[in-house]
Amino acid sequence: MVLFLLFLSYMSADISADRVIAPSSTVMLLFRSNFGAGVSLTSPTGYYTNGAWQYLTGTDQETGYSWPVKALGANLSGIQLITSDPIDSSTIGKYITNQIRQVTGPKGNLVNELFQNVKIKGDLGQAGSQAPLVINRPWTIGDVKDLYITYWFKYEIDFPSKLTREVPGAGWRQMFAFKTGGYLNDWRGDYRVSVTILKGLDGQLYWQTKGDNVANGPWPRVDYWTIDNHTVAVPVDRWSKFEVYWHRSSGSDGRFWVAVNGEVIADYHGPNMGDYNLPITRIFPNNAYSGGYATVESHSTGLEIWNGFPCGMGVSCYEK
């Protein structure tokens, strides 16, 4: 009955809102895309010395939502192509390619996935090239206080072997992040939360969720909190559901919650604002970004964005 009432609330809501919706008892779906028919990637554009941009565009005929994401006041959504060497239109394809393609999906049926592939990463142990899926929003329109994001992802069967502890800095792969911005009215920020996969000294993969100030600001690094999870397995060679929720606050009611396949990997309660209380300007739902061996691949589908937990406060939607 509760889910039915939430569904009715969602159906009657104005889901075309292009602003942050104040937290309330009604949970609203802000965006959904399966990268279905009607959605496409532009050719890389906006070249700069070590990168370019590739935008998602069009209306998803399966969901009715259009790219770029208008919710949250976003002014850009697509993939940033960041390369370890200078590139141009004739060489970018050697480093990074992105495509929407049809595959067998999480439920065994044919779906479209966003496939990101970093082919030349750079030196082992260095961050090098990356291809983040990013939602950008101006720092002048306020913060994103409450948000829930979910999608399906899959790592290749050889993924564990691409991370190594034999070379310093080569044992990590980023999954998710958000960053703030607006310091001195530019893109630099004071707070970041990231979800990363690490390889331990025992050769096993584990999850690390962290709040720090690594948001391109001019300050020495500060790690505010870290949660390591060695219990929930890092899934490989199968579709898995990623879920993340946050409530931003400078007080004890702040929260950052993450689950994979319905199992909670982190549930941090406490302050999650930076020293300058800057707003979230960059959300990276998924990123082909690693210190390990190339290639760095990302498979994702079924992206949803809500303004709160859609299945009940603190409840995973894995089985829904």
**DSSP assignment string, 93-105:** HHHEEEEEEEEE-
Cβ atoms 303, 241 nearer than 8 A: no
Q: What span, in angstroms and rounded, lies between the C-alpha atoms of 83 and 120? A: 8
pLDDT of residue 319: 87
Q: Which domains, and CATH codes, for the chain?
A: 2-306 (2.60.120.200)
Q: How far apart are CA 226 and CA 223, in angstroms?
A: 7
Contacts of 4 (CB under 8 A, 6+ apart): none
Give the pLDDT of residue 86. 97
* The one-letter amino acid at 44: P
Q: What pLDDT, on the 0 to 100 scale, is given for residue 56?
A: 96
CA separation for the pair 176, 243 (Å, rounded): 10
Q: Can you give the pLDDT at residue 203? A: 97
Q: What are the per-10-residue average pLDDT scores of the chain (320 residues)?
A: 38 33 68 98 97 97 95 94 97 98 97 97 94 97 97 97 96 98 97 98 98 98 98 98 98 98 98 98 97 97 98 94
Q: Which pLDDT does position 25 carry in this prediction?
A: 56
Q: Which of 303, 317, 310 is nearest to 260 (CA)?
A: 317
**What's the confidence (pLDDT) of residue 11?**
36
